[in-house]
Structure 1
Amino acid sequence: MGLLVCPICKEELLKIERSFRCKNNHNYDMAKQGYLNLLLSSKKKSKNPGDDREMVESRKRFLEAGFYKKISEKVNIMVAESAAKEKELKILDIGCGEGYYTNRLKSFLEEKNKTVEMLGIDISKEAVLAASKSYKEISWFVASGGELPIKDNALDFVLCMFSRIVPEEYNRVIKDKGYLVVASTGGKHLLEMKQVLYKDVKTDFYRPEKHLADFFQLEKTVNVKYTETIKGNENIKSLFDMTPYKWRSPKEGVDRLYLLDELKVTIDVNLDLFRKKV
């Protein structure tokens, strides 16, 4: 039994060779790279929503250089410990980007002798395209995290790494007593880069408990905090390009940053494990 539903009529999607079709004959063809586009044109706010190719390539370079590896490792351990008694897992990574965290989690769990059905969803076609080229053993979809093409009560885990939270939709697709993992930035995250970019730097940060309280109970929080020295102008630019600061930084600040060949930054990330209320 598959996990997907038609984004138009919400009926089950069945795979027929390289296409998916529902009983109402809505048909979706897989791209040659292996991903499936389930984002309806009526749901798009722009022609190409989500991260563009430059942002995707920057994030891919930065993450594959290992600067955020410790975050990935903590996520993997959190999921594995929570699923210690489970042999088979169905996991969705929402806002999966180019698939760095998604692939590392799947590989880690399989090393623990678990059978993992892993799905990655992102609204950015460029991100999903990059993911599907790199990691062939994961099912990749272009879709909105606000209207997931997933059956009700289908998933053991949902992973939300620095993405917008949609509590009602996560509650719908996660099984009873299933888990949601949320990654969000702490107050000191990339503080040194922000000090280069801005005159006045704020250190307040978002906590997700209030938004999720109707549906999820917070089980634990793990803070991942360390420093990294980013060497090389290209790596510094890649880090900047993959952050929201790219869109809201003053030109003089960006110019200062682009002159640097080395930048020591604080990585400060909160990983929250929530369990679905029953």
Structure 2
Amino acid sequence: MPLLSLTQLLCPIDQKELRQDGNTWRCQNKHCFDVAKQGYVNLLPVQNKKSLDPGDSKEMIAARRDFLNSGVYQPIAVALAKTLAGLCKEHEQLSILDAGCGEGYYLNAVCEQLLLDDVELTATGLDISKWAVRSCKIRNPKLNGLVASNRQIPLPDHSQDIVLCTFGFPVFEEFKRILKPGGHIVMADPGPEHLIELRSQIYETVRRNPPADISTALIDDWQLSDSINVQFTTPPLSAEQFEQLLVMTPHLYRASREGRERAAKLQNMPVSGDVLIRVISHGYQA
């Protein structure tokens, strides 16, 4: 079963319905948004940008793409795919939004698993970085691509079955708005031991912080329905992979010059993966 295209969007300027007319999406107030040659739609108005090129840079996305393509983080992708497959056993039609899709590695892995069950699947990658969405579309041109913010998702109310947020910035109010009754938010966040070996090199003091707090999401019939800890040790990473890992994470900008110099010397060393996958479900009964 092929991936399906989006049929409806919301105008980011006036929240009116957008309909596609050839290579342009239009609303009733004549706001128009063209489909880029790479196949995505940019719905991030200039007035909503905090910089000329918001989100991850072209270099960060390229580093993440190359690192993830090596398979080092495959345990995370497999766990996410299995988690979503378990949530969707009874679905014949399914709509998924990856809110903060990056270059599309995790969304594509999830889709490959779900399509084994012959489901009609509409899968959309959303990111504030145009470079991320471009890379997502290159990875799988059948994925829908939106340049937009999690603070103003250009999708109709109650249009999605699942919102996936992997190492991202959740906006629970918006996630819940676009989810159908009985929908799910699937989050993946770093645990206290994630990349501990790298962090020990670049910081003078290493903080083993717990995963992000989700208590604000657990209200109004929304409950934590599942929690899966994914822990693994990577194969020894090359110097090039350590460089990619540093560039693709916020650690590059948080580390001191001395820390970056120490990280530049790392090679032939495994690192720890520690990720917590949590499912927040509407109307869940334990």
TM-score, normalised by the number of residues in structure 2: 0.94
Bigger shift: residues 192-201 or 152-161: 192-201
Aligned with 1:50 (options 51, 55, 61): 55
The structural deviation recorded for 1:112 is 1.6
Q: Which residue of 1 aligns with 2:33?
A: 28
Distance 1:231 1:161 in 2: 22
Asked if the contact 2:8/2:19 (under 8 Å) is kept, the reply is no
Check conservation: 1:120, 1:139, Cα contact below 8 A.
yes
Match of 1:239 in 2: 245
Relative to 1, partners in 2 of residues 1:250 and 1:69: Cα closer, same or farther, differing over 3 Å?
same
Tell me the secondary structure at the aligned position of residue 263 of structure 1: coil
Q: Is the 8 A contact 1:110 1:116 kept in 2?
A: yes
Gaps of 5+ in 2: 1-5
Local SS of the residue matching 1:106: helix
- Residue type of the alignment partner of 1:273: V
2:260 is equivalent to residue 266 of structure 1:
no
**What does 1:114-153 align with in structure 2 at a 5 Å threshold?**
114-153=119-158
Check the 8 A contact 2:211/2:276 in 1, yes or no.
no
Other structure's SS at 2:17 match: coil
Residue 30 of structure 1 and its aligned partner are, at CA, apart by 0.5
Which of these residues, 247, 255, 263, is aligned with residue 249 of structure 1? 255
CA distance in 1, matches of 2:116, 2:216: 34
Take 1:2 and 1:275, find their aligned partners in 2: how far apart are those partners?
26
- Kindly indicate whether the alpha-carbon contact (under 8 Å) linking 1:153 and 1:174 is maintained by their aligned counterparts in 2: yes
CA distance in 1, matches of 2:147, 2:231: 32
1:15 is matched with which residue: 4, 20, 27?
Answer: 20
* Alignment match, 1:193: 198
Give the structure 2 partner of residue 79 of structure 1.
Answer: 84
- The farther-off stretch of 229-238 and 249-258 is 229-238
1:137-216 aligned within 5 A: 137-215=142-220, 216=222
Q: CA deviation at 1:277?
A: 4.3
Structure 2: distance between partners of 1:21 and 1:102: 27
Q: Tell me the residue number matched to 1:102.
A: 107
Cα displacement (A) at 1:104: 1.2
Which AA in structure 1 matches 2:117?
K
1:229 to 229, 235, 260: 235
Per-residue CA deviations over 1:209-251 (Å, capped at 9, x if unaligned) read 3121125210010000011134321111001111111111011
8 Å contact kept, 1:209–1:218? no
Q: State the 1:262 CA deviation.
A: 1.7
Q: Segments of 4+ in structure 1 off by > 3 A? A: none
Deviation track 1:131-188 (CA, whole Å, cap 9, x = no partner) reads 1222111110100011100100110000000111111101100001101100101010
- Aligned counterparts of 1:211 and 1:184: Cα–Cα separation in 2: 16
Alignment identity in percent? 35
- The one-letter code matched in structure 1 to 2:47 is S
Segments of 5+ residues of structure 1 without an aligned counterpart are none
Which amino acid counterpart does residue 250 of structure 2 have in structure 1?
A: P
Cα distance in 2, alignment partners of residues 172 and 230 from structure 1 = 43
Q: CA deviation at 1:49?
A: 0.5
Q: Is contact 2:218-2:280 (8 Å) kept?
A: no
Q: What TM-score, normalized to structure 1?
A: 0.97
1:64 aligns with 2:66: no
Letter in 1 for 2:251: Y
Shift of the alpha carbon at 1:198? 1.4
Q: Matched residues in 2 for 1:211 and 1:49: separation?
A: 26
What's the Cα RMSD here?
A: 1.3
Separation (CA, whole Å) in 1 of partners of 2:69 and 2:119: 25
CA contact (8 A) 1:98 1:131 kept: yes
Following TM superposition, by how much is the alpha carbon of 1:256 offset from its aligned partner in structure 2, in angstroms? 1.1
Q: Aligned partners of 1:206 and 1:20: how far apart in 2?
A: 39
Q: Is the 8 A contact 1:35 1:140 kept in 2?
A: yes
